[in-house]
Amino acid sequence: MATAAATGIHLHDLPEPILTHIFSLVCDVRSRNAMSLACRRWRTLERTTRTSLVLRGHVRSPFLLPTCFPAVAHLDLSLLSPWGHHPFLLHHQQPPPPPPPPQFYHHNLAEQAVLVAARLAQTFPRVSSLAIYARDPSVVASLAPLWPGLRAVRLVRWHQRPPALPLGADLAPLLAACPALSTLDLSQFYCWTEDVPQALQDHPVAAASLTRLDLLCPASTEGFCSSKLADIVAACPNLTHLLVPCVFNPRCIEFVGDDALLMLAAGCPRLALLHLVDPSTLSPARSDSEAKEDAAVTGPGLEELFAKLPQLEDLALDLCHNVRDAGPSLEMLSYKCPKIKSLKLGQFHGVCKGAWLHLDGVSVCGRLESLCIKNSADLIDSGLVTIARGCRRLSRLEIHGCHKVTEAGIKKLSSILRSTLVDFAISGCQLLDAARSLRALEPIRDRIERLHIDCIWVLPEPDQLPQTPEKTADDSDVDQVDEEMSDESRNKKSRYSDGNDGSNESSSFWFRTWANLRCLSLWVPAGEVLTPLGDAGLESCPQLEGISIKVEGDCRTCPRPRQRVFGLSFLARYPRLVKMKLDCGEAIGYALTAPTGHMDLSLWERFYLHGISDLRLYELDYWPPQDKEVNQRSLSLPATGLIQECLSLRKLFIHGTTHEHFMRFFLMMPVLRDVQLREDYYPAPENDMSTEMRVDSCSRFEEALNSRLIPD
22-32 pLDDT per residue, tens: 888 888 777 88
Q: What is the mean predicted confidence (pLDDT) over 44-48?
A: 83
**How far out from the chain centre does Cα 689 lie?**
29
Classify residue 70: in a domain, yes or no. Answer: no
Q: What is the mean predicted confidence (pLDDT) over 187-201?
A: 95
Q: Which of 182-186, 387-391, 425-429, 696-700 has the lowest mean pLDDT?
A: 696-700
Classify residue 128: in a domain, yes or no. Answer: no
How far, in Å, are 23, 44, 65, 69, 332 from residue 28 at the CA level? 11, 17, 22, 16, 42
Classify residue 232: in a domain, yes or no. Answer: no
Classify residue 377: in a domain, yes or no. Answer: no
Model pLDDT, residue 496? 34
Model pLDDT, residue 460? 53
Model pLDDT, residue 502? 38
Q: What is the mean predicted confidence (pLDDT) over 680-689?
A: 66
Q: What is the mean predicted confidence (pLDDT) over 359-379?
A: 95
Classify residue 382: in a domain, yes or no. Answer: no
pLDDT in tens, 131-149: 998 888 888 988 899 999 9
Cα–Cα distance for residue pair 112/667, rounded to 1 Å: 30
Question: Hey, what amino acid is at 630?
Answer: V
Model pLDDT, residue 289? 66
Classify residue 675: in a domain, yes or no. Answer: yes
| Other CB atoms within 10 Å distance of the CB of residue 111 | 10
Q: Which of 476-485, 546-555, 677-686 has the lowest mean pLDDT?
A: 476-485
C-beta separation of 600 from 632 below 8 A: no
Q: What pTM was estimated for this model as a whole?
A: 0.87
| Other CB atoms within 10 Å distance of the CB of residue 560 | 12
Q: Is the peptide bond before 82 cis (omega within 30 degrees of 0)?
A: yes
Classify residue 629: in a domain, yes or no. Answer: yes
Identify the CA nearest to 465 among candidates 404, 396, 526, 382: 404
Show the domain range for 624. Answer: 546-706
Burial label for 607, CB within 10 Å (0-12, 13-18, 19+), is: buried
- Write phi, then psi, for 392 (nearest 5 degrees): -80, -5
405 pLDDT tier (thresholds 50, 70, 90): very high
- Examine the pLDDT at 461 and tell me if it is beyond 90: no
Run of H or E residues at 220: none
Strand, coil or helix: 451:
strand
Model pLDDT, residue 495? 35
Cα–Cα distance for residue pair 451/453, rounded to 1 Å: 7
78 pLDDT tier (thresholds 50, 70, 90): confident
Percent of the chain topping pLDDT 70: 83
- Examine the pLDDT at 499 and tell me if it is beyond 90: no
56 pLDDT tier (thresholds 50, 70, 90): confident
Cα–Cα distance for residue pair 315/317, rounded to 1 Å: 7
- Examine the pLDDT at 12 and tell me if it is beyond 80: no
Model pLDDT, residue 477? 42
Total domain count for the chain? 1
Model pLDDT, residue 711? 74
Which of left, alpha, beta for 428 (phi over 0: left; psi -120 to 50: alpha)?
left
Q: What is the mean predicted confidence (pLDDT) over 479-483?
A: 44
Classify residue 579: in a domain, yes or no. Answer: yes
Run of H or E residues at 520: strand 519-525
Cα–Cα distance for residue pair 425/402, rounded to 1 Å: 12
Residues in CB range of 582: below 8 A, 6 or more apart: 549, 551, 608, 609, 620, 621, 622, 623
- Examine the pLDDT at 462 and tell me if it is beyond 80: no
